[in-house]
Amino acid sequence: MNSLENLKEAGAHMAAAVKIDYDELREATREFADREVAPIAAQLDLEDARIPIDLYEKMGKIGYFGIMAPEEYGGLGLGARALGVVTEELCRASLSVGSLIQRNVVTGSIIAHHGTEDQKSRYAPGLASGELQSASAGTEPNAGSDAANIQTTARRDGDHYIVKGTKQWCTNADVADVLFLYVRTSDTSKHSGLSLLLVDKPRDGFLPPKLDGTHLATAGYRGMKSFQLYFDNLDVPADNLVGGEEGHAFAQLMAGYEIARTGFAFRCVGLAQAAYEAAVRHAEERVQFDKPLKEFQAVRFRLADMRTQIEAARALATQAAEKLDSGARADLEAGMAKLFAADMAHKVCWDALYIHGGNGYAIDAPVNRYWRDSGLLPIGEGTSDIQREIIARSIVGRSTR
């Protein structure tokens, strides 16, 4: 692959050959990230600016949004490991930009596996190309880790559902074309009463007063804005019920969670790699007591631990991705990868800031951005303690309370 612009053609060839040169894919993605993403990363953070639409378009043209999508929908069909390599390299330049593709990948995967034929034809190609952007609307003020506690309702009324409730932490909801909405369609059971709806909306806006949103300011992870969403008797066509049958949300989301958590682990690795590289540069350049920081054992040992932890997290994430690519379930492996990588990146980013000393505490220092961004990692896509519970269930079964 001589340049990133021919990734789509090369990706189709590699998929057909069932052999991917991951080093080549990494090099090409890093080239793109260094050229197109890194130069705007500080601006996105310091100005809390939106990721430019032309960057979406460039990423879509390359094929990033459809990297796991089946070729029949215009995707590359390259698998979870390829997604991980691309995600890591983009997140090394900017966590928010590197996280863009995750939404379309997960939404597109669930539609491809569980959607009706009509839903597949309407949404899958656009999600794969990036022409459609999606956002997940699952979390609520009283339903985060306890996902089955969803209170937002969708009641059938003829050929429509009437949606009422509040969602929270819906990232990129303002510029999404479709919301992946988690709703309660029945009160008969906490779990089986849940369904998924696809909510069409205009790009760069909402549908007030039936659908509106309030921006939630965050300490980091800027470039994609998060929102609290308000659904006030919003009409959604019944044809937009994922799979065409109510009550299957948990089963539909199962594989989506595994892809999301594996991808999240690679996002953590990318951010940690950026922080580590910044720490190494600073240790080489900063002189104290007539010698560079890299000559001090305390700094050397800290760098050694950082590098070791990053490599271990990358290996766990790769293991989960390879299991997904084999067609097997990977809830245990995805949980372990997400747990270790999130906690690792949180610590590595702090260690990188610590090595920078007071210079790292300046808000416009890149390492300060990495540190602030890392605060999300043990919380987002299932907290670290939730991952521990998932892992424990695979070891000793479900707890009884």
Catalytic residues: 381
DSSP at 67:
S
Q: Which residues contact 319 (CB under 8 A, 6 or more apart)?
A: 333, 337
Contact 67, 89 (CB under 8 A): no
Contact 338, 322 (CB under 8 A): no
What region, left, alpha or beta, does residue 393 occupy, with left being phi > 0 and alpha being psi -120 to 50 degrees?
Answer: alpha
Contact 37, 86 (CB under 8 A): no
Q: Which residues contact 123 (CB under 8 A, 6 or more apart)?
A: 107, 108, 111, 115, 132, 178, 198
DSSP H or E segment with residue 229: strand 226-237
**Which of 153-192 are b and which e, b meaning 16 or more Cβ less than 10 Å from the residue's Cβ?**
bbeeeeebbbbbbebbbbbbbbbbbbbbbbbbbeeeeeeb
